[in-house]
Amino acid sequence: MNSIAAQPIRVLVVDDEQLVRAGFRLLIDATTDLAAVGEAGDGGEAVRAARRLRPDVVVMDIRMPGIDGLEATRLIASGDDAPRILIVTTFDDDEYVFAALRGGASGFLLKDTPPEEMLHAIRTVAQGDALLAPTVTRRLITEYVRTPTRSVSRPGVLDTLTDRELDVFELVAAGLSNGAIAERLHLGITTVKTHVGRLLTKLDARDRVQLVICAYETGVVAPGSSGTAPSTT
């Protein structure tokens, strides 16, 4: 019986440190379902490489010379058939990561993340999901809302959400997985997935990352109001 092997997930590695790029490539190419198709040392090169190589996932650093990872993320994510973008950063980059997520990134990791978690994250965003580290997400959002330019408004679209959708919305913002939400609300996992899908449609959000951002920006969830999110996803 003939079978067609699944194509590996194509990954573009972006970091201004050559040693880091080399390490990521070795890690990725040691798997059978992932393939490093290219690398870039700054944001401008990353944008050009993404357009040329058409990767499935871009592993993106933030602080780089020239065009940084923040602007590169925005430029890449705004294109047609854009790849998923996974931010890999350090705590020193906190103030930039939230903006990167708003710009179209599908999640982020810290640079000291264990190798297997890095590979899991690439697979997760490649499948169209988002990967959030809840404890770091809460810290980022807390820092974001301290800025004086923030203004919380409750758009009319939230009035279209049902009470149950609002319940799910709040738990998504807390970083809970669909399974954890199902357990918390005593719902079936399929029902939770349906609610999340409706939230994405009604709030015009690309993925769970943007749902989290929307929840905090609209005041549905206040920073520090929920300590129930798990420490990992």
For residue 185, give its domain range. 153-217
Q: Is residue 57 part of a domain?
A: yes
Query: CATH number of the domain that 111 lies in?
Result: 3.40.50.2300
Q: How many CA atoms lie within 13 A of 191 on its CB side?
A: 13
What letters, b where the CB count within 10 A reaches 16 and e where it falls short, cover 87-96? bbbeeebbeb
114 and 28 both lie in a single domain: yes
Q: Choose between 144 and 129: higher pLDDT.
A: 129
Total domains, the chain: 2
23 and 125 both lie in a single domain: yes
116 and 185 both lie in a single domain: no
Query: Residue 135: what pLDDT?
Result: 56
126 and 160 both lie in a single domain: no
Q: Is residue 27 part of a domain?
A: yes
47 and 122 both lie in a single domain: yes
Cα dihedral sign, 57-115-37-9: negative
114 and 157 both lie in a single domain: no
Which of 99, 131, 163 is the last residue in one of the domains?
131
Query: CATH number of the domain that 185 lies in?
Result: 1.10.10.10
22-36, 150-164, 180-194: which has the minimum mean pLDDT? Answer: 150-164
> Cα torsion for 216, 218, 221, 222, to the nearest 10°?
70
Q: Choose between 46 and 133: higher pLDDT.
A: 46
Q: Does the pLDDT at position 205 exceed 90?
A: no
Q: How far apart are CA 24 and CA 140, in angstroms?
A: 25
Q: What is the pLDDT of residues 86-131, one digit of tens each?
A: 998 876 565 666 777 778 888 888 888 889 989 999 998 898 777 7
Find out whether 83 and 60 touch, Cβ atoms under 8 Å: no
